[in-house]
Structure 1
Amino acid sequence: MSIDLYKVPVGQVVGVKGKKLEELHALGISSVGQLLDYYPFRYEDYTLRDLTQVKDGDKVTVKGQIVGIPQVQMYGRTKSRMLCKVLVDTWFVTAVWFNRHFLKDKLTSGAEIVLTGKWDQKRQHITVTESEFPGQGASQTGTLQPVYSISGAFTQKWFRQTMKQALLQFGEMIPEVLPAELLYKYELLPRKAAVKLLHMPGNMEQGQRARCRMVFEELFLFQLKMQAYRAINHKRADGVAHPVDLPAVRAFVRSLPFTLTDSQKKVIAEILHDLQQPYCMNRLLQGDVGAGKTVVAAVALFAVVKAGYQGALMVPTEILAEQHKRSLDRLFEPYGIQTALLTGSLPARGRRDVLGAMQMGLVDIVVGTHALIQEDVFFRALGLVVTDEQHRFGVNQRSVLRRKGMNPDVLTMTATPIPRTLAITAFGDLDVSTLRELPKGRKPIQTYAVPHSMLERVLGFINREVESGRQAYVICPLIEESEKLDVQNAIDIHAQLQFAFPSYRVGLLHGRMSPGEKDEVMREFSEGRVHVLVSTTVIEVGVDVPNSTLMVVYDADRFGLSQLHQLRGRVGRGEHQSYCVLIADPKSEVGKERMKAMTETNDGFEIARRDLELRGPGDFFGTKQSGVPDFRLADMVTDFEVMEQARDDAAEIVRRPEFWTGAAYVPLRSFLQREHIFESEMLD
């Protein structure tokens, strides 16, 4: 009978007790299984090296013979510098120790010594970090030693010894979780061997092979959760099978004042198919800036309303809510579909009227901000929830809105193109639809990166665009001056541009203004009464002013790539040629990479891929509650191909009837049981 190591207290490892046990618990390690899963993040290489093959500044381990008398220089009461000559092969090397003068008596002429430290080729020095005397106790010479992410009272030496003891006591009990077919398919090490080699590799090749095995397992188990959840969700049949009136939907699409792209038609077909199924739709709609996601959502909402249900559209800002409501009103007015706006700034009486109309079913579609998820908000028959810019809402906010109805269908939208890597990771439980085409007639935005020294030319560019009847955005990273950051701020730039353009109206928009003040400024800009709008990134998402043709971003190197792409997407929405000017510090290395990407491509998916490489998955969404898992070993950028393969394997296995009952898959079903997949609600 196998023992579940996740149920064996870590205190059963010999030597783990008292303060050390408490500190392990603080690291989140309470069982032997969790200890063995605490993998090193790198290895220290103590392999003996030939100094002729070592580059200046490299870390090196060498073996030599002491040939001089150690010299100690004291600094203050305790600080010291000790030098001693060591013969390494045919090299006379000076070994330098800092604050290790207590070793002086061991440094006897003729004695053998092993030195590990940084090699200074010019001065023939080794700055010693570790030293050993062969024959005097345990040696790590010639080995790879794991380095763990630890703090507090732990030392690497104690943690290594404890891990070694845990493997000695429990290593033979490590169970296999992957099916034999996958071990054979990819020639993977057995789990028992892989875990041992990860903690105690004989060489780098063994460590790499062990890592490959455990990375695949980590990604496969994650994808198995996603695929099993989707399969269970589709079997539940506890959603609403909407009786979609396809002829009415086709007539609505034909009535639109523009022709849908092939991409939009394909995505609409996918959504309409989901709406007619008895399970809850859980679909992510992603598309580049200006790809037409709002129209797709409008078609879905139209279909749900015609089927006798209500729809809700939740957006992150009041400006965006008002804009969406105006767009939907224009599309739905001929069909008698009633829309309402529910935001935090709505007067109390107006709010009561909207809430009453929602409960009585007098309102078909409600557009709102987080005000939609407050406790006193109820629908008569909510059939579809659409969240726009979904990563800006927390997991709890999205699930609260979903619970306003009886398992309504859910469509989440984002204008932040998500690299395929993240889409199948953060949103593995969702069906993903992608809009890649832009509407016909859109002219590519011309993007330029310039240094601050070219500001006069940029001002001339703004002047030319406004003179020709167009409008411009000017974006700053801060609202007002900061003592800590040497970057431009909106208030100062607003004053400067008012002085530079006395005959134009220069508006100001930032996050500290009241919702009413923001709306008034945006309304004036939308109507052309403000010519140049100075703003922080509050206008980043969704704001649509077709007459604006110029986007200027100060200190552009301070912004992430995806954010810059979103800002650029505020222009180029009309018939006129549009431009984006990025004012950046030419000395910033990260800035150079971002400016290079922005000037080389307008493709949001390529921008997103590069942003992921530059920033990593943790910061891609600008939020830690985005659903991106924190893998122990896997890296979503470098291990992307493994992620895709693991997803395909998990999906294929979950489709098999024997997966749910066969003996070969008991470890996988036990894993899903521990993860509570069989009784879970919709994953967010």
Structure 2
Amino acid sequence: MKAPRLHIPIHYLKGVGPRLAGDLEHLGIKTIDDLFAYYPYRYDEYELKDLAEVNDQEQTTIVGKIQSEPLLHYYGKKKSRLTVRILSGKYLIQVVLFNRPFLKRTLTLGSVVTVTGKWDRNRAMLTASEIHAGEPDPGSKWSPVYTACSGISVRKLRALVKQAFIQYPDCIKENLPAAFIERYRLTGKREAVRTIHFPEDQEQLRQARRRLVYEEFLLYELKLHAYKQLKRVSQNGVQMNIDRPAVQKFIEALPFALTAAQERVVNEILSDMGAAFSMNRLLQGDVGSGKTIVAAIALYAAAVSGYQGALMVPTEILAEQHADQLDGLFAPYGITTGLLTGSVRGKRRGTLLRGLAEGKINVLVGTHALIQPEVIFRKLGLVVTDEQHRFGVRQRGALRLKGKEPDILYMTATPIPRTLALSVFGDMDVSTIDQLPGGRKKIKTYWVQEKIIDRVIHFMRNELEQGRQAYVICPLIEESEQLDVQNAIDVYTHLSQALPEFKVALMHGRLTPEEKEAAMDAFKKKEVQVLVSTTVVEVGVNVPNASLMIIYDADRFGLSQLHQLRGRVGRGNVQSYCILLADAKSETSKEKMRLMAETTDGFKLSGYDLKLRGPGDFFGSKQSGLPNFRLADMIHDYRTLTVARDDASRLVKSHEFWHADCYAPLRETLAESGLTQTVHLD
């Protein structure tokens, strides 16, 4: 491998002294490479137009001569408004600049300026976003706009990038093999970087971005695949001797047949469990696709191989539900299931922990109580985490440390496209159940305005009179002055009065675990007909008799969360319904409601949700490892991501990638990421 290239410190650039270098460091610019990779986030178009051709409220650029002394007016706390009259062609207009009082001394009478801003035709006024002396540069009508900071203006950044191209153009090295550039008809690296900073037209910019986005994705995917490959060849995980005939008998004894998708992912998981490396797999599938039974099969396989299994879930209610279900499945085979939550205390807890340490408990189900120091497994081989996004990275990691490199299976009911899942969840493999069991009735979904709530309650009464039950979900617990949304306590009071012949219960996050358990238990036993709740009921709760889900202020929720809530019904044999109560004033809100009413496909809905909210909001700030790309967007550029991932997977598995000179720049990037060990392939 070639020696890593030198990274030239930014203070070597002409015009950058210690103070400016310090300011640049605040922007993450420490080297010339960093400066070249500090891409604009938008462009001002300097195509000069006659104001007669500019539409009202349109962004435009004009050249004109200053006709009046600038007037400066202060208002509020340190806010200012600077106005000056400019003659542009035959138009005498007023230019307004906000919060830039320092420009007063530079805008001199009779001088020529170039101004970019929004044109108000009725008031003959241009609200300027940018103004500078003289006419625009003849080289380009596009001007890059960068994220600036105190001490560094956008203009200064432009000048520094231009100087870098003059002084250090050779710093921009081509790192893609010629075969890739030819195959995808990509722009060269140096030309692409120059264009992304100073484009001349839209098509040139598009081609430059296409090249750089592919490169970003390829380098990221190479790191993921190389890391995964190195982990596999290290062979330091649990290697179970899977008893396939015993597992097959267990599957055949189930009261239902597995779908083809379930059979496929079971084989993927069992293959990993039987390998020498530690499994790190994400199991994703739509609501009701049968992820839990797949996890049960994996836990059974671990138990008959002589290992213990752990299943961690986010709530006590869900833990109890899973423990009961698994005990019913495993008890006939002599496999012992234990339950550990915060409610398990005293003598019962002590007996459980001793049994676990002695290996008498084969499968332990619980909440985050599983990661407490006193919980000791004798021989932990498989860890399953349900709704993994509900747990922090440290919680998930702490459970893994209870064994010696146990196999890990994460489960999520928020499915996303496979390539995106593989990329977002880093070094995990991904198994996808993309098929629902046959015979299930589609949940009928309706979007209605809250003014017809009386008709909705009438419909609810009809369902309850047939012996069914209903969930009613609200976004808040108590009245809020900030948000005009229905709250659980008010809705509970209203429904208790409107449906006096039925029992209505209230459940929310501020109740104690015992109170929540009591409310949910009463609902499951049909002692309660209507459960008013916040989203604590969202995940995993199984009440087959519930046929109606009503969601107040549904437009306040994300699509994936709405789909999760809808999945609490439709678990029995009767027709189930979901009613979305939302006035939905914005176009985005209306689109969400329309999508929910039109489809029950969780993969489609999560795709739409990603587009509406973006990856950061969708996965949440707690999601570890969500890549922060300079140009690429995992949703907008999904096709490119797929191509780059396939290329990276093929390269890392090839002998040529690790030895041929044409791939040396890519290997150099891996070395700079700390992946210096060459993967030895058979």
2:468 maps to: 470
Maintained 8 Å contact 2:419/2:645: no
2:142 maps to: 144
Range with greater deviation from structure 2 (121-130 or 204-213): 121-130
1:62 maps to: 62
Q: 1:412 Cα deviation (Å)?
A: 1.0
Q: 1:344 Cα deviation (Å)?
A: 2.4
Q: How does 1:101-500 map to 2 (within 5 A)?
A: 102=104, 106-108=108-110, 114-122=114-122, 125-131=125-131, 134=134, 139=137, 142-420=140-418, 422-500=420-498
Range with greater deviation from structure 2 (480-489 or 667-676): 667-676
Q: 1:679 Cα deviation (Å)?
A: 7.3
Q: 1:74 Cα deviation (Å)?
A: 6.8
Q: Residue type of the partner of 1:436?
A: D
1:336–1:549 distance in 2 versus 1, CA, 3 Å:
same
1:113–1:627 distance in 2 versus 1, CA, 3 Å:
closer
Range with greater deviation from structure 2 (493-502 or 344-353): 344-353
1:28 maps to: 28
1:641 maps to: 639
Range with greater deviation from structure 2 (286-295 or 372-381): 372-381
1:44 maps to: 44
Q: 1:545 Cα deviation (Å)?
A: 0.4
State the Cα deviation string for residues 635-661 of structure 1 (Å, max 9, x = none): 112111100000011111112112223
Q: Residue type of the partner of 1:92?
A: Y
Paired with 1:346 and 1:639, the residues of 2 have a C-alpha distance of 49
Q: 1:115 Cα deviation (Å)?
A: 3.8
Q: 1:678 Cα deviation (Å)?
A: 5.2
SS class of match (1:677) = coil
1:581 maps to: 579
Is 1:96 the counterpart of 2:95 in the alignment? yes
Paired with 1:157 and 1:466, the residues of 2 have a C-alpha distance of 67
Q: Residue type of the partner of 1:260?
A: L
State the Cα deviation string for residues 482-515 of structure 1 (Å, max 9, x = none): 1211111111111111111222111111111111
Task: Please list every run of 5 or more consecutive structure 1 residues that lacks an aligned counterpart in the other structure.
Answer: none
Aligned residues: 671
1:33–1:2 distance in 2 versus 1, CA, 3 Å:
farther
Paired with 1:314 and 1:65, the residues of 2 have a C-alpha distance of 71
State the Cα deviation string for residues 357-412 of structure 1 (Å, max 9, x = none): 11111110011111222233221111111111112222222222222212111111
Maintained 8 Å contact 1:422/1:617: no
SS class of match (1:234) = helix
Q: 1:102 Cα deviation (Å)?
A: 4.3
Range with greater deviation from structure 2 (147-156 or 315-324): 147-156
Q: 1:348 Cα deviation (Å)?
A: 3.8
Range with greater deviation from structure 2 (578-587 or 619-628): 619-628
1:82 maps to: 84
Maintained 8 Å contact 1:476/1:554: yes
State the Cα deviation string for residues 13-68 of structure 1 (Å, max 9, x = none): 333334433333233333332232221111111122354653322111234577xx
Paired with 2:599 and 2:228, the residues of 1 have a C-alpha distance of 35
Q: 1:123 Cα deviation (Å)?
A: 5.2
TM-score with structure 2 setting the length = 0.93
Q: 1:125 Cα deviation (Å)?
A: 4.5
Range with greater deviation from structure 2 (279-288 or 162-171): 162-171
Range with greater deviation from structure 2 (444-453 or 374-383): 374-383
Q: Residue type of the partner of 1:23?
A: D
SS class of match (2:527) = coil
Is 1:632 the counterpart of 2:645 in the alignment? no
1:199–1:104 distance in 2 versus 1, CA, 3 Å:
closer
SS class of match (2:168) = helix
Q: How does 1:5-20 map to 2 (within 5 A)?
A: 7-20=7-20
Paired with 1:65 and 1:159, the residues of 2 have a C-alpha distance of 26
1:594–1:484 distance in 2 versus 1, CA, 3 Å:
same
Aligned counterpart for 2:567 among listed residues 561, 569, 573: 569
State the Cα deviation string for residues 562-616 of structure 1 (Å, max 9, x = none): 0000000000000110000000023232210110110000000111111011001
Paired with 2:419 and 2:52, the residues of 1 have a C-alpha distance of 42
Q: 1:132 Cα deviation (Å)?
A: 5.1
1:363–1:262 distance in 2 versus 1, CA, 3 Å:
same
Q: Residue type of the partner of 2:616?
A: G
Maintained 8 Å contact 2:63/2:113: yes
Paired with 1:170 and 1:362, the residues of 2 have a C-alpha distance of 68
Maintained 8 Å contact 1:389/1:412: yes
Maintained 8 Å contact 1:86/1:93: yes
Q: 1:222 Cα deviation (Å)?
A: 0.8
Paired with 1:130 and 1:174, the residues of 2 have a C-alpha distance of 30
SS class of match (1:439) = coil
Q: 1:120 Cα deviation (Å)?
A: 3.1
Q: Residue type of the partner of 1:650?
A: A
Paired with 1:367 and 1:361, the residues of 2 have a C-alpha distance of 15
Maintained 8 Å contact 1:114/1:141: no
Paired with 1:85 and 1:31, the residues of 2 have a C-alpha distance of 43
Q: 1:662 Cα deviation (Å)?
A: 2.6
1:35–1:353 distance in 2 versus 1, CA, 3 Å:
farther
1:201–1:633 distance in 2 versus 1, CA, 3 Å:
same
Q: 1:184 Cα deviation (Å)?
A: 1.9
Q: Residue type of the partner of 1:473?
A: Y
Paired with 2:121 and 2:251, the residues of 1 have a C-alpha distance of 73
Maintained 8 Å contact 1:93/1:125: no
Range with greater deviation from structure 2 (399-408 or 46-55): 46-55
Q: Residue type of the partner of 1:82?
A: V
Maintained 8 Å contact 2:140/2:199: no
Paired with 1:362 and 1:393, the residues of 2 have a C-alpha distance of 27
Q: Residue type of the partner of 2:387?
A: E
1:213–1:501 distance in 2 versus 1, CA, 3 Å:
same
Paired with 1:266 and 1:665, the residues of 2 have a C-alpha distance of 35
State the Cα deviation string for residues 285-316 of structure 1 (Å, max 9, x = none): 11110111000110111111101111111111
1:635–1:186 distance in 2 versus 1, CA, 3 Å:
same
Paired with 2:22 and 2:346, the residues of 1 have a C-alpha distance of 53
1:261–1:56 distance in 2 versus 1, CA, 3 Å:
same
Paired with 2:2 and 2:257, the residues of 1 have a C-alpha distance of 63
Range with greater deviation from structure 2 (312-321 or 445-454): 312-321
Paired with 1:63 and 1:27, the residues of 2 have a C-alpha distance of 32
**TM-align CA RMSD:** 2.5
Q: 1:104 Cα deviation (Å)?
A: 10
